[in-house]
Amino acid sequence: MTTEELTDNVLKALDEIRPFLKSDGGDISLISIEEDKHVKVRLEGACTSCSVNQMTLRAGVETTIKKFAPQIETVVNVV
């Protein structure tokens, strides 16, 4: 998978999970993809202060991204 295809797939994954985040007053943005295996995102809105945002990041965001781009190893939230 090329870097462009990888970016497109990660963005598709974020588009899939975005409605769930928005329903709780949050959102997410792609910050970067490093070495084609490490994704940095920024949780926004209500997601920044939510007590379960790390669970959302792991169970929701990371799982969805890995479904679209299996070579991704880590997903981290940057503030």
Could you give the CA distance from residue 27 to residue 11 in angstroms, rounded to a whole number?
Answer: 13
Torsion angles phi and psi, residue 34, rounded to 5:
-110, 135
pTM above 0.85, yes or no: yes
State whether residue 37 is helix, strand or coil: coil
Average pLDDT, the chain: 91
- pLDDT tens track for 50-67: 778 777 778 889 999 999
